[in-house]
Chains A and B, each alone.
Chain A
Amino acid sequence: MESRRNPRAVVDPKVRQVGFFTSSQPDSTYQPDPIASESHPVVSSISPSGNSLSPVMIPPPRHNSSDTFPLRAAAAASAVSPSSFSYSTRRDFPDGSMTASPGRVSRASFSKPSSSLPGVGMDSMAAAKSSSVPASGLTTVSVVNMPPGLSGTVTCFKVVDLVLLDSQCLVYQIAEKESDQKKNSKPLKEKTTKAERRALQEAQRAAKAAAKAEGGKAPLVSSGSVASTNVKVTKPAKPSSQKNDVAAVAAGPSEKKGGQAEKDRKKDAPHPRMQYDDESRVVKAKRRAVVKQTEAKNRVELFRHLPQYEHGTQLPDLETKFFQLDPMHPAVYKVGLQYLSGDISGGNARCIAMLQAFQEVVKDYSTPSEKTLNRDMTAKISSYVSFLIECRPLSVSMGNAIRFVKNRIAKLPITLSESEAKAALQSDIERFINEKIVMADTVIVKHAVTKIRDGDVLLTYGSPTAVEMVLLHAHELKKKFRVLVVDSRPKLEGQLLLRRLIKRGINCTYTHINAVSYIMHEVTKVFLGASSVLSNGTVYSRVGTASVAMVASAFRVPVLVCCEAYKFHERVQLDSICSNELGDPNAISKVRGREDINYLDGLTNNANLQFLNLMYDATPSDYISMIITDYGMVPPTSVPVIVREYQKEHSLV
């Protein structure tokens, strides 16, 4: 917050900085004053520009603030380094697969054509196997000969050390000449020119884009992006302006190390909290995207910084690419498709699905030659994660899980063999699912059940997994209570919960959120789920939760939030605008199954109409009486303690 006192003269008018964690646009928020950054460790700790693919805020780095530059540069370089590893050829191992399918050994049954009746010339094994129809052999008639050196297209990095800061999950690659660069001004000079060239190019590109753009906004946009590129030009001149455009700084080291193509990918690496109203960044991110992303046209101005795409086009496009995405693991691909199509939702489920996909990845993984498992696997996971982000933005729970996985990979002892390492990783992931999600839920249930008394009327909103378990368990304990399921359009998740509760014989009432103020007077306790709990006690949850909590607190009804501790996050959020997710606008413009209510048909592309389908909201801690987590029942004010302890434990795991 300190740094916001002196805003820059040139500020991109499109960038809206709400709160102080939007780290992808540091140049406009933070004064890139070298003195300020070096003298205020607080500032530098808030703003590490978040190069890891974790969607979440990075905790304070544990390094000496006076020595930030090499780390910064290295971090910038490492952010993109996964891309250099993400291409693996599948024909790497000509050996070791012979046994896979002996049945497909090509028997040239045509070599004795005249004597053989249909099916006679086949292997006896094959013939014996089929009953009525004679089995047939396969004849290889066309073979692809792969050039031998295909797998060897790996650019070698001169890496002295591989360090992973446990809390940050950043892999720093420190090039050999790093320390020299820092002191010597000449390479810096070179860097500057490179960055300038890049900036110039970007300015030209932006100008071109602006020329193409039409309407009243065009000049504004162009001036904005040009201005921002101008800022970039000046920046690299100051060696210690770490918090400025990461990509510009990254150009220096990467130029030394990698090839041109790698660099291209590097600078395009998306930031998980990218501001989508920054056009140049959006263009860059689009260029490398796997999922075709057509920006929705009429977006609500206040939420322009969030990604919103035409939902109709993404899925078919991704589907047609099914066989063409070589580096993608099928399990990851499947999960991505399921995220994209909305088949799977809910923080816990998405996290479990992702982790299970990663388990598959680990199972099928084999280290390419000339690479180490730790680094290559991290790179792979990162590329998968960026694919998943394209399918749907990550939830906090997933971000934490990814951080855990990467942490585990980085910490694998070098001495382990590949199979041992894989087994260790798989069991680690398994343990994460079991301890942090499944066990956590059982503990939460145990705690929460004590709060349910006979005669209670419990209200819940949506379909939170933990709350469902609580209710079911309480019912098993023969407690007599009634449940009010409050639901909202468009997802109507509550209906599914309702179905499951009724099946177990729990007495339920179902209503929509419109009626919540009416029904609240009979409620004795409100149980809510959460997507995340932030360290100021704010509960980030399904949209509508805040209203329910507010009404409940107005009626003096206790609000209990059930949330596993792995969803806690050290981020602080004051509103639900700066960080949120936009859903499919069609979901609210159309009523499913009611074709007769089609008043909005044909208006979807009207410039005067914007749809806003928010997915999450933030409930202030004032409305929350208690958070039930695997560490017990705590007031919202105690969340930072758990986050701190949890982090500590996390690093020890």
Chain B
Amino acid sequence: MISERLYTFADFVCKTLFEPLINLIDDKKKKKPLFLSPSNSEMDFQVVILAGGFSSNLAPLVSKEVPKALLPVANRPVLSYVLDLLESSNLKDLIVVVEGEDAALTVGGWISSACVDRLHVEVAAVAENVGTAGALKAIAHHLTAKDILIVSGDIVSDISPGAVAATHTRHDAAVTAMLCAEPVSGPAESGGAGGKDKIKKPACYDIIGLDSSKQFLLYIATGVEVKRDTRLKKSILCAAGKMEIRSDLVDSHIYAFKRSVLQEVLEQKPTFRCLKQDVLPYLVRTQLRSDVFSDEKAVEENGSGHGKNNMQNNDGVSSQILSNAFLPSFHKVYESGLDIRKTHKCCVYIADESKYCVRLNSIQAFMDVNRDVIGDANHLSGYSFSAHHNIVHPSAELGSKTTVGPHCMLGEGSQVGDKCNVKRSVIGRHCRIGSNVKVVNSVVMDHATIGDGCSIQGSVICSNAQLQERVALRDCQVEAGYVVFAGGEHKGETFARK
């Protein structure tokens, strides 16, 4: 593994060192399409992937070598799912924003090795702990398209981002958020410590208010904010007439923003840190008294028209005809009812319930995603499953009387000893598992070593970790490279070096 890592790193350094030179040399013939960003500019969308850094939520799992974006889901980095999703929508010019230089280096290295010649990816490193809004602010000067599609780098989903973009375009909205049904969380059916997990899981539900057509967002609050009572804007409620409050939907962190709006908000509100908790609620709150649309429309109109003054009046009439013909949203009605207040639209795209969409933002989610990708949502993994609904790499070695159940995955070069039992688990590459080992509902990452007679349930063993003989783990996380000594019985612990 080390050699592999070194190789990609060297490759990456090579690239970064020499690419500027190369660029200088054949700037003219080669680099042009990059800035045209053809596939996106066709629809005038720029894609930003917020890949995060070393998230503290996933504390023992992420490490210096493995930032959040590269956490393996079914032995593929989680970022690759996002990239595949975007690529399948023909979005090939991407900006990946990573928190922290080191993480950026690692992520960039992986992308350059995995996606070269497939995607045109640019990686931007931002300071750590600036939040999603801060990260966007840092790269704001790179954003040039009319609309920006922002995708979280930890999403495993099969919902087409095009749908969000289309809704956004159709309504000419300031922001469009994608909502999806709340994922089924918690351990698999046989997992014992269900109650405990629920306590550990943060209350991540969102409170979402929709209008009667289910197209516009009237209210949004994340579960953390909602303590006991919550405030609604009376004007919005009056204008919309009816509001449907849903708690079974979650914001899935795929947004389409109008670039001018996004930049305006980030400019005006330097304190905003998080897109979901600050920017989106702010835009929703102010949708009927918009400050972000300050006479931008008029400017646009003048620019696009031929600037002839005599035409101005006619333009007005034709746009009047147009606006009268539009099926009016409540914004329009409100606008016409009062003075010349500006409004902007906050739309939602509600994904079909049959679609899969989960964010990998907690250890529990990590377990869930791994379970689903080789289980219920296996079309996402991109692997072909055997008749037993599992994937055993041909180079994996199984001892005698070892059973690998359905919804399991064994990476290449892994060795499993005799009389082992693997159920609903993902085992990475080149793992060595002794005999009489039981692995249930767990994730074992690459190069881990598990001694004889171990029993692992609902746990995550990170890469290069070592479990000595007869260790029994239940709902534990073992940090990369950690050595768990023989004979211990642990429950719900986190093994990490201080």
Please give the residue numbers on chain A whose beta carbons come within 8 Å of chain B beta carbons, in ascending order. 90-91, 93-98, 100-101, 103-111, 113, 116, 118-119, 125-126, 129-146, 316, 318-324, 326, 330, 333-334, 337-338, 341-346, 348-350, 352-353, 426-427, 430, 433-434, 437-439, 441-442, 463, 465, 468, 496, 499-500, 503, 593
Chain B residue, CB-CB nearest to A146: B33
| Pairs of residues from A and B, 7 with the lowest C-beta to C-beta distance, nearest first | A349-B325, A322-B162, A319-B166, A90-B38, A138-B122, A346-B325, A320-B160
| B201 lies within 8 A of chain A by Cβ | no
Given A98-B32, A136-B125, A430-B306, answer yes or no on A324-B90 (Cβ-Cβ < 8 Å). Answer: yes
- Most A CB contacts (10 A, CB to CB) among B44, B120, B141, B142 go to B141
Pull 22 A–B residue pairs with CB atoms less than 8 Å apart, ordered by A. A98-B28, A100-B35, A101-B142, A105-B35, A111-B16, A118-B101, A132-B270, A134-B138, A139-B122, A141-B96, A141-B122, A141-B123, A142-B117, A143-B34, A319-B170, A323-B40, A323-B165, A324-B89, A343-B170, A349-B325, A438-B314, A465-B325
Q: Which of B12, B43, B105 contacts A322 (CB 8 A)?
A: B43
Shortest beta-carbon distance from B8 to chain A in Å: 11
B34 touches A438 (CB 8 A): no
Could you list 5 further interchain pairs (A-B, Cβ under 8 angstroms) beyond the known A126-B141, A134-B126, A142-B117? Answer: A140-B34, A319-B167, A321-B160, A333-B169, A499-B333
Interface SS of chain B:
helix
Tell me the bound Cα distance from A125 to B141 in angstroms: 10
Tell me the bound Cα distance from A134 to B45 in angstroms: 24
Tell me the bound Cα distance from A79 to B119 in angstroms: 38
Cβ contacts under 8 Å, B328 to chain A: 496
Shortest beta-carbon distance from B39 to chain A in Å: 7
Q: How large is the interface on B (under 10, 10 to 19, 20 to 34, 35 or more residues)?
A: 35 or more
Cβ contacts under 8 Å, A105 to chain B: 35
Cβ contacts under 8 Å, B163 to chain A: 316, 319-320, 322
Q: Could you tell me which residues of chain B, from 1 to 16, have a CB within 8 Å of some CB in chain A?
A: 12-13, 15-16
B128 touches A118 (CB 8 A): yes
Cβ contacts under 8 Å, A131 to chain B: 270
| B195 lies within 8 A of chain A by Cβ | no
Cβ contacts under 8 Å, A465 to chain B: 321, 324-325
Shortest beta-carbon distance from B63 to chain A in Å: 19
Chain B residue, CB-CB nearest to A442: B317
Cβ contacts under 8 Å, A133 to chain B: 126-127, 130, 134-135, 137-138
Tell me the bound Cα distance from A134 to B170 in angstroms: 35
Cβ contacts under 8 Å, B144 to chain A: 100-101, 103-104
Given A141-B112, A143-B120, A348-B325, answer yes or no on A334-B318 (Cβ-Cβ < 8 Å). Answer: no
Cβ contacts under 8 Å, A326 to chain B: 39, 42, 90
| B498 lies within 8 A of chain A by Cβ | no
A141 touches B20 (CB 8 A): no
- Most A CB contacts (10 A, CB to CB) among B15, B29, B95, B166 go to B166
Given A144-B120, A323-B89, answer yes or no on A118-B125 (Cβ-Cβ < 8 Å). Answer: yes
B33 touches A496 (CB 8 A): no
Please give the residue numbers on chain B whose beta carbons come within 8 Å of chain A beta carbons, in ascending order. 12-13, 15-17, 19-20, 23, 27-45, 89-92, 95-97, 100-101, 104-105, 108-109, 111-112, 115-128, 130, 134-135, 137-142, 144, 160-163, 165-167, 169-171, 212, 270, 306, 311, 314, 317-318, 321-322, 324-328, 333, 336, 349, 352
B39 touches A136 (CB 8 A): no
Cβ contacts under 8 Å, A138 to chain B: 95, 122-124, 139, 142
Cβ contacts under 8 Å, B116 to chain A: 142-143
Chain B residue, CB-CB nearest to A106: B122
Cβ contacts under 8 Å, A142 to chain B: 111-112, 115-121
Tell me the bound Cα distance from A346 to B326 in angstroms: 9
Q: Which of B39, B137, B161, B311 contacts A130 (CB 8 A)?
A: B137
Given A441-B317, A468-B324, answer yes or no on A139-B336 (Cβ-Cβ < 8 Å). Answer: no
A137 touches B325 (CB 8 A): no
Q: Which of A97, A113, A139, A144 contacts B35 (CB 8 A)?
A: A97
Chain A residue, CB-CB nearest to B98: A136
Given A104-B122, A139-B108, A323-B90, answer yes or no on A119-B142 (Cβ-Cβ < 8 Å). Answer: no
B15 touches A141 (CB 8 A): yes
Shortest beta-carbon distance from A150 to chain B in Å: 11
Shortest beta-carbon distance from B291 to chain A in Å: 18
Cβ contacts under 8 Å, A97 to chain B: 32-33, 35-36
Cβ contacts under 8 Å, B29 to chain A: 94-95
Cβ contacts under 8 Å, B95 to chain A: 138
B162 touches A430 (CB 8 A): no
Chain A residue, CB-CB nearest to B112: A141
Chain A residue, CB-CB nearest to B29: A94
Shortest beta-carbon distance from B449 to chain A in Å: 32
Tell me the bound Cα distance from A94 to B352 in angstroms: 40
Cβ contacts under 8 Å, B134 to chain A: 132-133
Cβ contacts under 8 Å, A499 to chain B: 333, 336
Cβ contacts under 8 Å, B352 to chain A: 316
Cβ contacts under 8 Å, A106 to chain B: 19-20, 23, 34, 122
Tell me the bound Cα distance from A603 to B422 in angstroms: 50
Q: Which of B111, B119, B169 contacts A337 (CB 8 A)?
A: B169
Shortest beta-carbon distance from A145 to chain B in Å: 6
Shortest beta-carbon distance from A107 to chain B in Å: 8
Shortest beta-carbon distance from A439 to chain B in Å: 7
Shortest beta-carbon distance from B439 to chain A in Å: 35
Tell me the bound Cα distance from A145 to B29 in angstroms: 11
Shortest beta-carbon distance from B257 to chain A in Å: 16
Tell me the bound Cα distance from A432 to B21 in angstroms: 52
Cβ contacts under 8 Å, B101 to chain A: 110, 113, 116, 118
Cβ contacts under 8 Å, A330 to chain B: 42-44, 169
B326 touches A104 (CB 8 A): no
Tell me the bound Cα distance from A319 to B178 in angstroms: 13
Tell me the bound Cα distance from A142 to B19 in angstroms: 11
A319 touches B137 (CB 8 A): no
Cβ contacts under 8 Å, A94 to chain B: 28-30, 32-33
Cβ contacts under 8 Å, B141 to chain A: 103, 125-126, 129-130, 135
B16 touches A100 (CB 8 A): no
- Most B CB contacts (10 A, CB to CB) among A110, A113, A131, A500 go to A110
Tell me the bound Cα distance from A316 to B111 in angstroms: 32
A141 touches B121 (CB 8 A): yes
B108 touches A135 (CB 8 A): no
Tell me the bound Cα distance from A108 to B89 in angstroms: 28
Tell me the bound Cα distance from A349 to B317 in angstroms: 11
B162 touches A324 (CB 8 A): yes
Q: Which of B89, B324, B327 contacts A500 (CB 8 A)?
A: B324
B43 touches A108 (CB 8 A): no
